[in-house]
Every structure is written in C-alpha cells, then in structure tokens.
Amino acid sequence: MSQSHGTTETRALPPAQPVRRWTPAKLLGVTLLGVWFLLALGVLLFLVNSWNPELFRRYAPEYLSGLWITLQLVGLSFLVGGVLSIPIAIGRRSTNRIVAAFSYGYVYFFRGTPLLAQTFLVYYGLGSFRPQFEAVGLWWFFREAWYCALFAFSLNTSAYQAEILRGAVDTIRYGQWEAAAALGLSRLQTLRKIILPQALLVALRPYGNELILLLKGSAIVAIITVYDLMGETRRAYARTFDFQTYIWAAFIYLSVVEVLRIATDRIERRLTRHLHR
C-alpha cells in the first residue's frame, strides 16, 4: 500500500498461475499420440526403403481410375440419399401413426444393419429376381454391380441423413413456427423459408461426417467386383504381392478425407461468420 495526496492506493497482486498437472486423460492422450507418431514414422521408413518407381508408374493410372469411380459412387449416392431423406425426415415428425411407423422402421433397419449386408441383399438378393425385373425392364439396372452399390448406398445414407435433418429441425424453437403462422405463412412455406435454412446450418458438420463415413464404407464394393479404389488396390496386390499397394490406398483415402474435413470447416466458418462478429 502507498499514500499519495491523502489517498490510499492498493496494488492488485497478479493472478496466480494455475499449476499444470498431468491428469490420466492427458497422459493417455500424449501416449496415444506418441504411438501414432511411431507408426507413421515406421510406415514412412518402410515406403522409403521399399519404394519401387516402376511399380508406381505402372499402377498409378489404375489407382486414379479407381479413385474416380469411388468419388462418383459416393457423390451420387450422397445426393440421392439426401433427396430421399427429406420425405423420411418429414415422416418421422408426422402425426400420422402409419407414416411415422413406416419412417421409423426404415431408419431403424438401415441404421441397425451393416452396410455390407445391405449391399449383399441388393446385389445377390435382388439378383435372384431376374425374370421379374426383365419383365418390367429393370434388369439392366440390377445386373450391374455399380448400380447395385449405388442403390444400396443411397438407401443407407438416406436413413442417416433423415435422422440428421430431423434432429437439426428439432433444434429450432417452436416459437418460430408460431410466428410464421401468425404472419400467414403455410407450414410448407415456413419449413422452406425459415426452418430449413437454420436447420441445414446446424446439420452441416454431421452431414460432413456422414459423407466421410460413406467414403470409407465405399471400400466394400470391391467385394462385389466394382473396381473402385479398393478394387484396384486388391487387383494390384494380387499381381505383385507387394504390401505397399495397400499403403498407397490408405494415403489416398486419408488425403480425400482431409480435403473433405477442411472443406466442411471452411464452409461452416463462412456460413456462420455473422455469429463471430
């Protein structure tokens, strides 16, 4: 304390610095990070020591072809699933018990069973109905493995996207519905102009996660003779028996996932910039 011109001044002490302690969670996180670093270093050393330029030049075009097929399959199935998810999400919120029960059963089935089993059901199961599909002119679709994969993936992701959309709509306060009704807007107009723009902003990151999961799950189509990225990888390994062919595929998948993650983050920051001012 010091006195100046008859007044007493009190100097505040600087706040005490918190003591950093190694909690079990932090110690576990650092340990796992170290393990991942050592694994990545081991893979890098393996590639450096066993790098085969001739092998890379031979199979690089096939990997690019497989990557293009993977991106086509994932992109189209995600878009088709997004369209299908809208009526399913509306059905999940319906007051009609039959519609709500059908929507719930659809979501329950496709979220509760493996994507691999669903793909087999479409490719092998529907393939047993060849005479019936030929009679209605649809056999051209179900005889191709790529179309069957597209069909199965679209149904699967539509169930997940429906739940994402329904959950996002539920986050919007009911007062906005009431305010729109007071302004004379119909329920459809309210949903399209007021509710959905806000709900899609909330659902952006879950949509990004679903797209990444769909991309990684697309590797199973190699089992039904679709030569996507994993299909070309299996074919390259069968011809060379060189394990680095799978490491190449892993790095390509990792790169695409990282691009999707960065794109999702940037789009989210762009759309929510008004919230950070």
Give alpha helix (H) positions in the chain.
24-50, 53-92, 97-112, 115-120, 130-136, 139-142, 145-170, 174-182, 187-190, 196-217, 229-240, 244-271
- Judge whether 33 lies within some domain: no
- Judge whether 196 lies within some domain: yes
The answer to whether the Cα torsion of 111, 67, 73, 235 is positive or negative is negative
Say if residue 8's pLDDT is above 60: no
Q: Residue 254 — very low, low, confident or very high, per pLDDT cuts 50/70/90?
A: very high
Note whether 214 and 153 are within 8 A (CB).
yes
Q: Residue 56 — very low, low, confident or very high, per pLDDT cuts 50/70/90?
A: confident
- Judge whether 149 lies within some domain: yes
- Judge whether 19 lies within some domain: no
Its domain, for residue 164, covers: 54-272
Tokens of 258: 């990282």
- Judge whether 48 lies within some domain: no
What's the predicted TM-score (pTM) here? 0.81
Q: Which of 26-35, 91-100, 122-131, 214-223 has the lowest mean pLDDT?
A: 26-35
**Which residues, at least 6 apart from 194, have a Cβ–Cβ distance to it below 8 Å?**
176, 180, 185
How far apart, in whole angstroms, are the C-alpha atoms of residue 270 and residue 137?
46
SS3 142: helix
How far apart, in whole angstroms, are the C-alpha atoms of residue 171 and residue 203?
10
Say if residue 226's pLDDT is above 70: yes
Q: Residue 174 — very low, low, confident or very high, per pLDDT cuts 50/70/90?
A: confident
- Specify which residues 2 forms β-bridges with: 9
- Judge whether 24 lies within some domain: no
Q: Residue 37 — very low, low, confident or very high, per pLDDT cuts 50/70/90?
A: confident
Q: What is the pLDDT of residue 187?
A: 79
- Judge whether 164 lies within some domain: yes
CATH number, residue 255: 1.10.3720.10
What is the domain count for the chain? 1
Q: Report the Cα 120 to chain-centroid distance in Å.
A: 21
More confident residue, 171 or 277: 171
CA angle, residues 46, 52, 54, in degrees to nearest 5: 165
- Judge whether 18 lies within some domain: no
Say if residue 43's pLDDT is above 80: no
Q: Which of 239, 244, 251, 164 is nearest to 209 (CA)?
A: 164
- Specify which residues 7 forms β-bridges with: 4
Note whether 230 and 222 are within 8 A (CB).
yes
